[in-house]
């Protein structure tokens, strides 16, 4: 742990730079996507559940890779890894500001709950901040089954996003989100778009659909398949999206 003198601490932990989210008073916390190398050479895997999504990840290309943006996400990760207690305190203090009252926080624009300790720190932060809503897309299914599903803070909702190595363990009735090649494919598959407001991912009807990143090389790689379908292909399973239409947890 923690040589606190060498831990670089971002001035602010939460961002509202994404205009689409900011107009709904949604703030974001972001880690590097998939894995990152810290300045001292340690590599940290931030998306342990990533499967088919990894080669199509929106956050491993484009503006997420701009040097200043990438450096900020690595600083966030370094803070968590080197001083989890200090990070938890700093996040709780930041969230005590009145600008977060009745606002929402999306936990992870990219990255995921990469360890039990980190997830539990978030659960404590949420419990201590009842005036703010929290939500997340996650691929950390086994970790959520153990640590979140039995007893979650009332102000936290989540959706399991397809394209994970854990997809085969999802059950009918789990709230899921899949990534479609085109917006028009979403309703045709019986899914429900969150394009109007990202909070629909946890508040609206399920299952949830979103359209993929528009970068041409990613579009070519994905074809017309969804992340869930790509993962099923990798696993040698049959993709059965209808299984997720049976129960609506909204
Ligand atoms: S889990 Fe999300 S952020 Fe991580 S690699 Fe997959 S798409 Fe990217």
Report pLDDT digits (tens) over 80-136. 999 999 999 999 999 999 999 999 999 999 999 999 999 999 999 999 999 999 999
Distance from the alpha carbon of residue 219 to the mean position of ligand 1, in angstroms: 16
Beta strands in 47-138 (DSSP E): 104-107, 133-138
Predicted pLDDT of residue 246: 57
Point out the ligand 1 atom lying closest to the alpha carbon of residue 111: 3
Q: Is the pLDDT of residue 4 over 60?
A: no
Q: How confident is the model at residue 2 (pLDDT cuts 50, 70, 90)?
A: very low
Q: Is the pLDDT of residue 78 over 90?
A: yes
Phi-psi region of 153 (alpha: psi -120 to 50; beta: other; left: phi over 0): beta
Predicted pLDDT of residue 141: 98
Supply 187's token pair: 């309703």
Give, for ligand 1, the residue of 57, 107, 177 to mutate: max count of ligand atoms closer than 8 Å to Cβ.
Answer: 57
Q: Is the pLDDT of residue 247 over 50?
A: no
Q: Is 189 in a helix, a strand, or coil? A: coil
User: What residue ranges line ligand 1, CB within 6 angstroms?
Assistant: 33-34, 47, 50, 53-54, 57, 59, 110-112, 139
Mean per-residue pLDDT for 194-217?
94
Point out the ligand 1 atom lying closest to the alpha carbon of residue 47: 4
Predicted pLDDT of residue 65: 87
CA nearest ligand 1 atom 7, residue:
57
CA nearest ligand 1 atom 8, residue:
57
Distance from the alpha carbon of residue 98 to the mean position of ligand 1, in angstroms: 31
Greatest alpha-carbon span in the chain: 54
The residue among 192 and 4 whose pLDDT is bigger is: 192
CA distances from 100 to 15, 83, 164 (A): 11, 24, 31
Give, for ligand 1, the residue of 73, 111, 164 to mutate: max count of ligand atoms closer than 8 Å to Cβ.
Answer: 111
CA nearest ligand 1 atom 1, residue:
50
Question: Mind listing the pLDDT tens digit for each residue in 29-66?
Answer: 999 999 999 999 999 999 999 999 999 998 998 888 89
Mean per-residue pLDDT for 62-85?
94
Predicted pLDDT of residue 121: 98
Predicted pLDDT of residue 10: 75
Q: How confident is the model at residue 213 (pLDDT cuts 50, 70, 90)?
A: confident
Task: Give the residue extent of every domain in the chain.
Answer: 10-243
Identify the CA nearest to 171 among candidates 238, 244, 234, 241. Answer: 244
- Using only C-alpha atoms, the chain has a radius of gyration, in whole angstroms, of 18
Partners of 113 in the β-ladder:
none
Predicted pLDDT of residue 249: 42
Identify the CA nearest to 74 among candidates 113, 101, 34. Answer: 34
Distance from the alpha carbon of residue 8 to the mean position of ligand 1, in angstroms: 24
Supply 201's token pair: 């991912």
Angle, helices 84-95 vs 67-82, to 10°: value is: 110
3-state helix, strand, coil in the chain (%, to 5): 40, 15, 45
Q: Collect all residues with Cβ–Cβ distance below 8 Å to 25 and sequence separation of at least 6.
A: 102, 103, 104
Predicted pLDDT of residue 1: 45
Question: Mind listing the pLDDT tens digit for each residue in 160-204?
Answer: 999 999 999 999 889 999 999 999 999 999 999 999 999 999 999
The residue among 9 and 127 whose pLDDT is bigger is: 127
Q: Is 80 in a helix, a strand, or coil? A: helix
């Amino acid at each position: 742990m923690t040589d606190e003198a060498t831990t670089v601490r971002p001035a602010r932990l939460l961002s509202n730079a994404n205009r689409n989210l900011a107009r709904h008073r949604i703030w974001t916390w972001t880690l590097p996507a998939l894995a990152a190398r810290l300045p001292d050479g340690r590599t940290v895997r931030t998306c342990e559940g990533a499967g088919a999504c990894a080669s199509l990840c929106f956050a491993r290309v484009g503006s997420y890779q701009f040097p200043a943006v990438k450096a900020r996400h690595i600083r966030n990760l370094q803070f968590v890894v080197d001083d989890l207690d200090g990070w938890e305190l700093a996040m709780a203090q930041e969230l005590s500001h009145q600008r977060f009252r009745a606002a929402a926080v999306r936990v992870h624009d990219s990255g995921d709950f990469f360890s039990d300790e980190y997830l539990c720190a978030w659960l404590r932060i949420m419990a201590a901040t009842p005036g703010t809503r929290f939500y997340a897309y996650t691929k950390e299914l086994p970790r959520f089954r153990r640590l979140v599903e039995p007893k979650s803070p009332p102000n936290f909702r989540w959706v399991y996003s397809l394209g994970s190595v854990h997809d085969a363990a999802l059950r009918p009735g789990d709230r899921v989100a899949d990534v479609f090649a085109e917006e028009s494919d979403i309703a045709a598959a019986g899914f429900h778009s969150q394009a109007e407001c990202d909070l629909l991912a946890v508040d609206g009807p399920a299952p949830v659909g979103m359209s993929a990143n528009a970068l041409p090389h990613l579009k070519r790689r994905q074809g017309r398949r969804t992340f869930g379908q790509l993962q099923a292909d990798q696993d040698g399973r049959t993709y059965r999206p209808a299984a997720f239409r049976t129960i609506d947890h909204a």
